[in-house]
């Protein structure tokens, strides 16, 4: 076939061949010429078809090669991300900085885990997160909890002299939105870091739901220096210590409070962990080491079965104890509660705790960014993992405010606290 095409090509390109094609005579006059023309046309058609077929084969081979290379690129995660960035950079209707795309990809990796506690932080986000963990940050001055069923952001504590208190925010209020962004659409950490915290002096307008009525309040953010432990002496030398969260300084604050109450003649104590959403595990176990006799106060287990024990030494405090809890008592606060229960060191009073029996570990990266990753389950001394179920108090009693409509909160109007006093007096 190739030889025939080559011969024809040479023949058709000669001057003679051209003349014969152009000066074709009727069949009757020149039958041999007619036959030659037929052969020439047939051969030319074959050549044309060959070119088309050859081009199609070449294009198919090229497409196959391109498809193969593209498949290799898309199989490589880095290559796929680069290709997606290229498509966005080329075709997206707005300009987007590469850093924004990359951070979005990193955040997306952790979103895919479907774990609300695992998170990626940019360097700026991690700096802010660290300031909160250490108890010093710019914000509105309210403790918040995400309702597990509704996704609503609930105010669990309002700090004294904070923007929230000055603006009239109260415990139990639901933050519907902040600057138009609805709380139910975000994880608690994302919502707080993006829309509630901010530089000192900046404003944020929140909408709260209080007993079905929506109220709009504009707050001016301020530096919030959180004291996580408050305390006082009640009647009959009963000490009262409230722990709002476990930050890096809570254990030192706690020891100071305990020793001060001891010096005042404390003979029994109430630890109030209601609305305490947790915090740093080591801080909680340091306090348990301070209070409890020798033994394991909790332990963690990773997915490979590696166990780590947190222990208390023999030094401890002998004192009748009650721990107050509720549905917002979570994480490290449940570690504290579970150890008190399992050591039979005190009585737990209130309602079922939140049920967060997992531990997060932070990893700081060289570029200043960081991740927080759920790495372990934790277990109470008796070997119970309370994740998803919480801790049932020894005395179950729903909170009821005993005062009138015009009364402010006071010890005598808190039925759970009154029950704790009753138990300690027995």
**Interval 325-362: pLDDT, tens:** 999 999 999 999 999 999 999 999 999 999 999 999 99
Nearest alpha-carbon partner for 273 in 321, 225, 211: 321
Q: Mean pLDDT of successive 10-residue segments in the chain (426 residues)?
A: 32 35 40 57 58 57 57 68 87 91 90 92 87 77 86 89 94 95 88 88 95 95 87 97 93 97 98 94 97 98 97 97 96 98 98 95 94 96 96 97 88 96 95
Given 222, 331, 372, 414, which residue is catalytic? 331
Between the alpha carbon of residue 67 and those of residues 63, 64, 72, 75, 372, the distances in Å are: 6, 5, 9, 12, 39
343 and 374 assigned to the same domain: yes
Given 162, 342, 372, 414, which residue is catalytic? 342
Give the distance, in angstroms, between the CA of residue 126 and the centroid of all CA atoms in the same chain.
Answer: 13
Number of domains observed in the structure of the chain: 2
In terms of residue numbers, what domain contains 190?
Answer: 136-225
For residue 67, the model assigns a pLDDT of 61
15 in any annotated domain:
no
373 in any annotated domain:
yes
Q: Which of 225, 243, 261 is the last residue of a domain?
A: 225
Q: Which of 225, 250, 271 is the last residue of a domain?
A: 225
394 and 329 assigned to the same domain: yes
387 in any annotated domain:
yes
Structure tokens at 214: 């929506």
Given 146, 157, 356, 372, which residue is catalytic? 356
**Phi, psi values for residue 134, rounded to 5°:** -85, 0
- The enclosing H or E element of 298 equals strand 295-301
296 and 153 assigned to the same domain: no
CATH number, domain with residue 360: 3.90.226.10
Known active-site residue 356 = yes
Known active-site residue 302 = no
162 and 285 assigned to the same domain: no
Known active-site residue 232 = no
252 and 368 assigned to the same domain: yes
251 and 233 assigned to the same domain: yes
344 and 251 assigned to the same domain: yes
């Amino acid at each position: 076939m190739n030889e025939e095409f080559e011969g024809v090509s040479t023949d058709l390109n000669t001057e003679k061949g051209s003349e014969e094609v152009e000066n074709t005579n009727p069949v009757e006059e020149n039958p041999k010429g007619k036959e030659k023309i037929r052969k020439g046309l047939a051969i030319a058609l074959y050549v044309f078809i060959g070119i088309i077929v050859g081009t199609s084969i070449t294009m198919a081979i090229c497409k196959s090669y391109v498809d193969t290379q593209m498949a290799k690129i898309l199989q490589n995660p880095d290559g796929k991300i680069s290709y997606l960035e290229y498509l966005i950079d080329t075709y997206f209707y707005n300009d987007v900085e590469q850093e924004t795309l990359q951070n979005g990809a990193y955040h997306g990796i952790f979103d895919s885990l479907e774990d609300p506690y695992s998170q990626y932080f940019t360097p700026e986000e991690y700096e802010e997160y660290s300031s909160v963990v250490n108890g010093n940050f710019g914000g509105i001055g309210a403790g918040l909890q995400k309702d597990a069923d509704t996704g609503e952001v609930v105010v669990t504590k309002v700090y004294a002299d904070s923007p929230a208190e000055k603006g009239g925010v109260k415990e139990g209020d639901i933050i519907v939105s902040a600057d138009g962004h609805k709380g139910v659409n975000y994880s608690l950490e994302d919502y707080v870091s993006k829309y509630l915290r901010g530089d000192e002096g900046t404003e944020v307008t929140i909408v709260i739901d209080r007993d079905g009525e929506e109220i709009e309040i504009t707050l001016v953010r301020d530096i919030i220096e959180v004291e996580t432990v408050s305390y006082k002496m009640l009647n009959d030398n009963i000490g009262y210590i409230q722990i709002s969260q476990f930050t890096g300084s809570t254990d030192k604050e706690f020891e100071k409070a305990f020793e001060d109450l001891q010096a005042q003649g404390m003979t029994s104590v109430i630890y109030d962990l209601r609305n305490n959403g947790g915090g740093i595990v080591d801080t909680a176990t340091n306090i348990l080491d301070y209070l409890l006799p020798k033994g394991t106060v909790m332990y963690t287990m990773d997915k490979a079965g590696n166990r780590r024990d947190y222990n208390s030494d023999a030094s401890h405090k002998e004192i009748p104890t009650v721990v107050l809890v509720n549905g917002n008592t979570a994480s490290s606060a449940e570690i504290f509660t579970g150890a008190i229960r399992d050591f039979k060191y005190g009585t737990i009073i209130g309602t079922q705790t939140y049920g967060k029996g997992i531990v997060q570990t932070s990893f700081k990266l060289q570029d200043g960014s960081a991740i927080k990753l759920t790495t372990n389950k934790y277990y109470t001394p008796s070997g119970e993992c309370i994740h998803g179920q919480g801790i049932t108090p020894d005395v179950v009693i729903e909170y009821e405010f005993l005062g009138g409509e015009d009364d402010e909160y006071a010890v005598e109007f808190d039925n759970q606290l009154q029950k704790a006093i009753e138990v300690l007096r027995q």
